[in-house]
Structure 1
Amino acid sequence: MEIILYTSLFLLEIAALIAFSYWGFHVDKGIFIKVLLGISTPILIAFVWGLFLAPKATYPITETPYERYFKSEYSA
């Protein structure tokens, strides 16, 4: 069952990168901007994901701003 979960999460990540690439190639600008955004946006997203958000990230974010707000707001 765990393999299905990890496979679906991986496919969801790939689908997100494809969606960012699709967006980049369909911006209403010149061909140079389309190619630049279509190629660089998924690479940048994957880089940020690998550095900060992945389970084995180099610099993991331990708590989100949302969690930090509620800890400071509702702690006695």
Structure 2
Amino acid sequence: MRLPTPLHVVNEGLAFLLELAALGCLAWWGWQRVEPVALRLVVAVAAPAAAAVLWGLFAAPKARFPVPLPGVLAVKALVFGAAVAALYGVGHPAWAVAFGIVALVNTGVATMDRRAAMHG
């Protein structure tokens, strides 16, 4: 069953915010935990940039290289999993768990909604 339009829009908006939050978590981790200090800025920029490039190439709605759903879900798992690890790494295990649960539920709902739209 397809989500009603307002719920679809809310879920897609949440997905975008989660993607931005994941990039922010990776930058935060790079800035807080990387040693030596001289590498902090490099990692704080490179980690989210690498995640954004990976997402844009394979997981974005208009991905440069469209892959089947399992590939898209693998990229999302990698990026969101890295964000969860980053949150844990900066000393926020409860936030890491909460972020992981919200990302998992959001991705699951979006996947079911897209499948229903394709078959409906």
Please state which band the TM-score falls in when normalised by the shorter chain.
Answer: 0.7 to 0.9
* Residue of structure 1 in register with 2:51 after alignment: 45
Q: Which of the numbers 6, 22, 26 marks the counterpart of 1:20?
A: 26
Superposed displacement of residue 40, structure 1 = 1.0
Indicate the structure with greater helix content: 2
Q: TM-score, normalised by structure 2?
A: 0.49
Q: C-alpha deviations, 1:8-62, integer Å up to 9, x for none?
A: 1111111101111111112241122111100111111101100011121111221
Secondary structure in structure 1 of the residue aligned to 2:33: coil
Q: Percent identity?
A: 31
Q: Which of the numbers 21, 30, 33 marks the counterpart of 2:39?
A: 33
Q: Which amino acid aligns with 2:45?
A: I
Q: TM-score, normalised by structure 1?
A: 0.74
The whole-number CA distance in structure 2 between the counterparts of 1:14 and 1:63 is 21
Q: Which amino acid aligns with 1:14?
A: L
- More deviation, 11-20/27-36: 27-36
Q: Which has the larger radius of gyration?
A: 1
Aligned-CA RMSD value? 1.6
1:3 aligns with 2:14: no
With a CA cutoff of 8 Å and minimum separation of 6, indicate the structure with the bigger relative contact order: 2
